Amino acid sequence: MSAVLQDRPVAAPRGARIEVRQVSHRFELAQGPLPVLDRIDLAVQPGEFVALLGPSGCGKSTLLRLVAGLEPASSGTLTHDGAPIARPHPSRIVVFQDPTLFPWRSVWDNVALGLQARGVLKAERARVDEALALVGLRAFAKAHPHQLSGGMAQRVALARALVNDPSLLVLDEPLGKLDSLTRMTMQSELVALWQRAGFSALLVTHDVEEAFFMAQRVVVLSDRPARIVAELRNTLPYPRQRGSATLADLRHEALRRLGLDATW
């Protein structure tokens, strides 16, 4: 168990409670407003793992940006433990589809970014090593991003998020660009990290299998402008078996809701 996680009592719930109420959002384009989100209602309980599943370009990532505080919503309210979300905060960390490591920084310096930005790096250097150990990349601390494989780079991005001890981890298709084998391994690793650290997790994906393998609750979104068309609960205990019949039933149900029943 890493000391990153030891500074808080393990039993106490430390995940964020996120509430999204009647949130609509549109982009103001030259051709006129483009609605992307349509009255979204969503709650993430402390320590819960929720997946947002929807077709490509439906507005899932936009919803994540609103939750992260990177953009204000056109209408509706978003709260984090009851307080409105107005700007980014290091307690809600986003892991993007691209690892977006800073190429001019070594792996260690990349992971240290959040601590440095908040001016606490000097006191908490050990946390960087611990976060690197957590994702199994301690030996690569001095490497530069261009020397890493896609999976390793995404692990570094994960360590860069975890070092801040977030109460909400926002995952924007973090495994979307990895090969399928690396992807499956990292799905299990992410779930294990979530179980150990106890943060709330909000995952955006368009991979039906990934959503049900990882999340406790899957929110199915429609095409743009995104509406919630279904919420499917997955009560299977972790670690989950990919071949389980319950998972297959859930996948079938999700595909039906997405209008892809004919492909089953």
Partner 1 sequence: MTTAYSSTTTLPNLFGRGAPATPRLRVWWTGLLAAAAWLTLGLLTRAWPNKLIGFSDWAYTAEFGAAACIVGALLLAIIVLGRYAERIARRLRPAGAWLIALPLLFGAWEVLTAKLGLLPTPFFAPPQNLIEVYGEDWRRLGDSAWHSIRLLFHGVAIGTLLGFLTGVAIGWSRAVGYWVHPVLRFVGPVPASALLPLAFFAFPSSYAAAVFVISLATFFPVTILTWSGVAGVNRQYYDVARTLGASEWFLVLRVAIPAALPQVFVGLFMALGAAFSVLVVAEMMGVKAGLGWYLTWAQGWASYANMYAALIIMAVVCSSTVTLLFVLRDRVLSWQKGTVKW
What is the contact surface with partner 1 in residues (CB under 8 A)?
68-70, 88-90, 92-94, 96, 98, 100, 102-106, 113-114, 116-118, 144-146, 160, 164
CB of 105 to partner 1, least distance (A): 8
Q: Which amino acid makes up residue 209?
A: E
CB of 36 to partner 1, least distance (A): 17
Each residue of 133-150: b (16+ CB within 10 Å) or e?
A: bbbebeebbeebbeebee
Kindly tell me which of 125 and 242 has the beta carbon lying closer to partner 1: 125
Each residue of 160-173: b (16+ CB within 10 Å) or e?
A: bbbbbbbbbbbbbb
Kindly tell me which of 145 and 232 has the beta carbon lying closer to partner 1: 145
Find out whether 85 and 78 touch, Cβ atoms under 8 Å. Answer: yes
Kindly tell me which of 93 and 258 has the beta carbon lying closer to partner 1: 93
CB of 136 to partner 1, least distance (A): 21
Kindly tell me which of 20 and 220 has the beta carbon lying closer to partner 1: 20
CB of 160 to partner 1, least distance (A): 7
Kindly tell me which of 90 and 176 has the beta carbon lying closer to partner 1: 90
| Strand-pair partners of 217 | 50, 233
CB of 6 to partner 1, least distance (A): 22
CB of 22 to partner 1, least distance (A): 24
Kindly tell me which of 152 and 250 has the beta carbon lying closer to partner 1: 152
Kindly tell me which of 146 and 245 has the beta carbon lying closer to partner 1: 146
CB of 100 to partner 1, least distance (A): 5
